[in-house]
Amino acid sequence: MTPPSEISPAVVCSEVTRQYADGGGIVGAGGPTVTALDAVSLSVSAGEVVGIAGPSGSGKSTLLHLLAGLDTPTAGAITIRGTDIASLGGRKQTRFRRDNIGMVFQRFHLLPALTARENVALPLVQAGAKRRKRRKRASELLAAVGLADRESHRPGALSGGEQQRVAIARALAADPAVVIADEPTGELDRDTGEQVLDLLTDISDDRAVVVASHDEYTLERADRVINLLDGVRQ
């Protein structure tokens, strides 16, 4: 693996602040606000696993949603492979996020009516890939995460660890440069969680991986850890 210091950062977060209007409304309209993140900066290179640590309410999930382009900073900028996500509008932002960022949620977010292979292929459906190509890609990814014999099973017939591995395979479908995982082992027992962490470490060979967790064992697997407290980097 090339040392992260020799690679241009895949993710750069510069003085990012995220505020919300207390009780709804619009930030800046004069009402009270809540600061979920306060001038947070960080960078992550391809080939690197970075952990985001902090207690509940520290801003971990807010940061991950911003990095994934699912939310917009109140101030500061986030660039993925040199592109400021917030500067893109509408469809361009959606396409950029689809092609460059893979998101792994704690509660998996698999569609219960679809098989494992169909769930993994969803990003390719959205990208307009032909049926044969997306079926082949999804099968290859499921084999890579050890689920070749489960591709026709729906989520309800899979264990928690198997569902999480399907979710990781789905996050990899478009071969993104960045994979973001929010408490990826939070719903899993230790043995299954270790398998998922092994997988996240393996995929970091050629992409940036950001993992938010409050679990010390999970954070020990990261190359380095960034700590948040009350929205401030420590």
**Nearest alpha-carbon partner for 45 in 82, 78, 9, 81:** 9
Q: Which two tokens stand for residue 177?
A: 């440069």
With beta carbons less than 8 A apart as the criterion, state whether 47 and 9 touch: no
**Nearest alpha-carbon partner for 153 in 201, 125, 117, 185:** 117
Q: How far apart are CA 61 and CA 36, in angstroms?
A: 10
Say which CATH topology domain 46-69+90-233 has: Rossmann fold (3.40.50)
Could you report the per-residue pLDDT of 136-176, keeping only the tens digit for each? Answer: 999 999 999 999 999 999 999 999 999 999 999 999 999 99
With beta carbons less than 8 A apart as the criterion, state whether 17 and 72 touch: no
Q: Which two tokens stand for residue 107?
A: 């509660």
pTM for this predicted structure: 0.89
Could you report the per-residue pLDDT of 8-58, keeping only the tens digit for each? Answer: 799 999 999 999 987 666 666 666 789 999 999 999 999 999 999 999 999
